[in-house]
Structure 1
Amino acid sequence: MSALLQLIVVCILIQVLILVYHLTGPPKSLSRFTRTSSHTAPDFSHLAEHCAHVPPIPAASFLERQQSLAQTLHSLNASAYIAEPGASAGYFANLSGSQWHLSERPLLLIISPEINSAEQVHAKVSILTPAFELTRAKLLPLPSSIDIAYLAWPEDADPFAVAVSAIPSLSEGTVFVDGMTRNFIVDGLQKATPGSEVVVSPVEIRRLRERKSKEELEIMKCVNEVTLLAIRAVRDNMYVGMRESEAHRMIVSALAAAGLQDPGALTLFGENAALPHGSGTDRVLGAHDFALIDCDGSLHGYHSDVTRTFALPDSTVHAAHLRLWNLVHSAQANALAAAQNGTITAEVDRAARDTLHAQGYAQYLTHRLGHGVGLEVHESPYLRGGSDDVILTGHTFSDEPGIYIEGQVGVRLEDCFYVNEDGQSIFLTEGVGGAATSPWKP
């Protein structure tokens, strides 16, 4: 065999080995990077202590919320507010979607303002329920300052006519419905009230839930803190050569051990992280790869949302990718600084994009900067271009800039923040260190 032919064969073998490395991970002999597989699952039980002291929302707070809603309805000359079981009904009356699943038979929360003889406004709470479900409906743990009126509709009756029969002064005011109410319910209510207007609740109503109280913020701080602690604990148990599915199982296990409900996660390695919602593959973590973990869970109904893109202690990430990480880190910090009481949400999104634009990477931030967070992982208002929503004290958002270069690399950093009484934005993860400081210190 000639020297030239030998050189060609060696080059082909090297290319084959590189391809195998990227598809299956490093060979087991690379002990410097690879941890021996173990059937013993990591122990994350210590995470359960972090939020054990945080109580749920007390009944008295639900009554205050109902009263605030009734007074707002009265000021807007509205006859009622109507919501299906879900986040808004959960906020006002502890009636979440997990307590009563939606079906074609409507069960509705109806809150109306009533005026007593002393001209004081009080909240009247009614529940529209299928008649055969009345007993089950009465078992729901719904706080109310006065007896709840249960409106039972039989199967041969129009449920919406029954619903509006309980609304006082209907001819004099608008009926507001929660923005997530299904169309057939809105249409049914409108047909049952031809002389009134049935419309989606305005910003004055939405802000009652959007702007968080101190007790809500305490829950949200803890759930976001423990989510970040879970990511760090999982990172300590990761190794080059593992698969995305293994990291996924670990982070879900850690969140569950922390006591969070409905834990979810994205685990993306290398170029897979360039697709913000994942690739559907099960990539192996290489020695030069970033790992991205984006996860959430809920505590007493309030959600976390935290993302870290990081390297392992023995990783050798390319310098170009490290520069992208630092650029995303700067974008996140600049967006947080821009988010103050009175700021338009679009300006916060612009602050992050301007940071990336200065280095020529704005086109690689392919999604909005952030979203409201609370009883839903994604709720209004949103940090996006074109929005004219105003940020106010008590608002809570995610701050999650990213750079996504398909086929090469993806970087996203995400912490949720709140606007404090001084009008400044503070990360909800601040109690455990807040934002990442480097790819090796998430």
Structure 2
Amino acid sequence: MDEKGLPLDLAPVDTRVRKHAYRSTRLIIACIIVQVVILIYRLTGTPKSITRLYNSYTGQPDFSHLAEHCAHISPVSTSSFLQRQQALAQSLHELNASAYIAEPGASAAYFANLSQSQWHLSERPLLLIISPDVDSSEQVHARVSILTPSFEATRAKLLSIPSQDEVTYPSWPEDVSPFEVAVSAVPQLKEGTIFVDGMMRSFVLDGLQKAATESNVLTAPVEIRRLRERKSAEELEIMKCVNEATLLAIRAVRENVKIGMRESEARQLMSTALSAAGLSDGSCLTLFGENAALPHGSGTDRVLGAHDFVLVDCDAELHGYRSDITRTYALPESTIHATYLRMWSLVHSAQANALAAARNGTVTAEVDAAARNTLAAQGYAQYLTHRLGHGIGLETHESPYLRGGSEDVILTGHTFSDEPGIYIEGQVGIRLEDCFYVHENGTAIFLTEGAGGAAKGPWDP
């Protein structure tokens, strides 16, 4: 059709010629672009330059440089899983427990590479069962079993479950209680104490209690929880990189945020940057101005004004381990009220004082108090409306927690978020968050230290 709505074969000859020439020109340009892309690929052997060319052509921000930061980091090794299972078996033996049971999730992922991404939870339970086996020389070994629905047995055996010995797969048909099958197939479940993961669903816990009539089924105690809470050097390397990469993504996006942009637009830029960094399952709470006064947002899509702070709270994943970083920042052209700038500095001080208080042997409540007391000195304590922080690792939020009233003790290898804030509804919300680990020397160090650590100022996140 031509511009007047006539079929091209009825349109004037000159119109058809112009349209043909236009289409030919577009085809030539497209061919040139393809040839340039092929040439770049042949010269560089990498798609990164292609990505940069595409972004330049489309006007999209280029975040491809972020991919290099964690490219050298490897996932947890098989030998580490075996060491974890051995440590669990030894702890079970010392606690006179006969087994540990978990559903697919963070704990099963820690001990056996069995996360919910490998096996989604349903009404049909699949269970990881690890029990201590003592040989004739009194050496303790870990025995691994996977309780599976019968019709899913083949699929279950395709799971990559590390084990020193052969994994057993007791299966249950649909007309039989899965928990009775578990007790019959794994002798250790017939008596003694069975520890279950604290996140186990109630119907599974109830079923185990009913089937294991001679056993005492209990939630795993702190001695078992600490095996996952206290991170190894291998885990810390992954956690450092995922937190650093998340922070670098926040800084890269800030260079592309503009006055007049909507929260949803900045949020999409963050998603793109996290993905470009090689991180998975990334998301960012992105709030402008007074919307940040509600710590989890207002549900609106505010336009960024010249006097507004930007608050981004981002998490993402690398090899199963999570990041959690928050920055409240101003743009170079922003004009922030002096009172809000003082609040920002106060939150910054609260974060630093909490980090200094977090030492090996300290009760977690004392770290929360260190941040809260800093705010109280200037009359702002009532505006910190949530706990100071949470444990982090295979889950974004995991035990222990930095909160008032807690009696949990901080130990080396523990990892936490440190995220004080001031939230005054209708006015402003400010939060700064970095995660830290407790070093072997007993001091706390930000996981973002390798990327510059905590924010330096409102204009320097």
TM-score (normalizing by structure 2) = 0.87
Partner in structure 2 of residue 196 of structure 1: 215
Given the alignment of the two structures, is residue 316 of structure 1 paired with residue 367 of structure 2, yes or no? no
Indicate the residue corresponding to 1:341 in structure 2: 360
Counterpart-to-counterpart distance in 2, 1:171 and 1:386 = 38
- Of 166, 176, 181, 1:157 maps to 176
2:185 aligned partner, one-letter code: A
Match of 2:103 in 1: 84
Contact 1:296–1:305 (8 Å) recurs in 2: yes
Give the Cα separation in 2 of the matches to 1:224 and 1:375: 13
What is the SS of the residue equivalent to 2:406? coil
Determine the structure 2 residue equivalent to 1:130: 149
Give the C-alpha shift of residue 39 in structure 1: 6.3
CA–CA separation in structure 1 for the residues paired with 2:212 and 2:258: 63
CA contact (8 A) 1:112 1:168 kept: no
Q: Kindly provide the amino acid, as one letter, of the partner of residue 179 in structure 1.
A: G
Paired residue type of 1:379: E
Pick aligned residue for 2:350 from 325, 331, 334? 331
1:171 to partner: Cα distance: 5.0
**Which consecutive segments of 4 or more residues in structure 1 shift more than 4 A?**
none
Deviation at 1:175, TM superposition (A): 0.4
Name the structure 2 match of 1:113: 132
Deviation at 1:166?
Answer: 3.2
Of the three residues 412, 421, 425, the one matched with 1:393 is 412
Classify the secondary structure of the residue corresponding to 2:187: coil
Structure 1: state its 5+ residue gaps. 1-37
CA distance in 2, matches of 1:120, 1:167: 20
Instruction: Report the alpha carbon displacement of residue 264 of structure 1 after superposing the two structures with TM.
Output: 0.7
Residue of structure 2 equivalent to 1:360: 379
Residue 164 of structure 2 is aligned with which of 145, 152, 157? 145
Q: CA RMSD in A?
A: 0.9
Deviations 1:3-45 (A, max 9, x none): xxxxxxxxxxxxxxxxxxxxxxxxxxxxxxxxxxx96221111
Q: Secondary structure at the match of 1:55?
A: coil
Q: Does 1:102 align with 2:145?
A: no
CA distance in 2 between partners of 1:40 and 1:376 (Å): 36
Equivalent residue, structure 1, for 2:402: 383
Question: Partners in 1 of 2:171 and 2:186 — Cα distance?
Answer: 14
2:28 aligned partner = none
Shift of 1:172: 4.5
Secondary structure of the corresponding residue to residue 215 of structure 2? coil
Per the alignment, residue 280 of structure 2 pairs with 261
Offset at residue 212 of structure 1 (A): 0.2
Counterparts of 1:168 and 1:419 in 2: how far apart (Å)?
40
Percent identity, aligned pairs only, is 76
Identify the match of residue 294 of structure 1 among 309, 313, 320: 313
| Paired residue secondary structure (1:136) | helix
The DSSP-based 3-state class of the residue aligned with 1:356 is helix
The residue number in structure 2 matching 1:174 is 193
TM-score (norm 1): 0.91
Name the SS for the 2:287 alignment partner. strand
Does the CA contact (< 8 Å) of 2:104 and 2:128 recur in 1? Answer: yes
1:207 Cα deviation from its structure 2 partner = 0.2
**For 2:331 and 2:171, how far apart are their aligned partners in 1?**
59
1:343-371 CA-to-partner distances (Å, cap 9, x unmatched) read 00000000000000000000000000000
SS of the aligned residue for 1:254 comes to helix
Q: How far, CA to CA, are the matches of 1:72 and 1:166 in structure 2?
A: 23
Q: Using CA pairs below 8 Å that are at least 6 residues apart, which structure has the higher relative contact order?
A: 1
Give, as a single letter, the amino acid of the residue that structure 1 aligns with 2:101: I
Say whether the 8 Å CA contact 2:261–2:304 is kept in structure 1.
yes
Listed one character per residue, the Cα deviations across residues 61-85 of structure 1 (whole Å, up to 9, x for unaligned) are 0000000000000000001000000
Checking the alignment, whether the CA contact within 8 Å between 1:80 and 1:167 is kept in structure 2 is no
Shift of 1:170: 3.8
In 1, the alpha carbon distance for the partners of 2:301 and 2:196 equals 43
For 1:65, the equivalent position in structure 2 comes to: 84
SS of the aligned residue for 2:260 comes to coil
Larger Rg: 2
1:20-31 matched pairs, under 5 angstroms: none
Per-residue CA deviations over 1:170-214 (Å, capped at 9, x if unaligned) read 455210000000000000000001121111100000000000000
2:192·2:214 contact (CA, 8 Å) conserved in 1? no
Q: How does 1:39-50 map to 2 (within 5 A)?
A: 40-50=59-69
Instruction: Note the alpha carbon deviations across 1:260-291, whole angstroms, 9 max, x for none.
Output: 11011100000000000011000011111100
Deviations 1:309-338 (A, max 9, x none): 000011110000000000000000000000
- Amino acid aligned to 2:98: S
Contact 1:79 1:167 in 2 (8 A): no
Partner of 1:34: none
Structure 2 residue aligned with 1:420 = 439
- What whole-Å deviation, never above 9, does each CA across 1:118-175 have from its counterpart, x for those lacking one? 1110000000000000000000001000000101111111100111223334455210
Partner of 1:435: 454
C-alpha distance in 2 between matches for 1:386 and 1:39: 53
- Superposed, 1:220-235 pairs within 5 Å as 220-235=239-254
After superposition, where does 1:269-308 map in structure 2 within 5 Å? Answer: 269-308=288-327
Match of 1:211 among 230, 242, 251: 230
Alpha-carbon contact 2:191-2:212 (below 8 Å) kept: no
The 2-side partners of 1:196 and 1:142 are apart by 27
Question: Residue 315 of structure 2 aligns to a residue in which SS?
Answer: strand
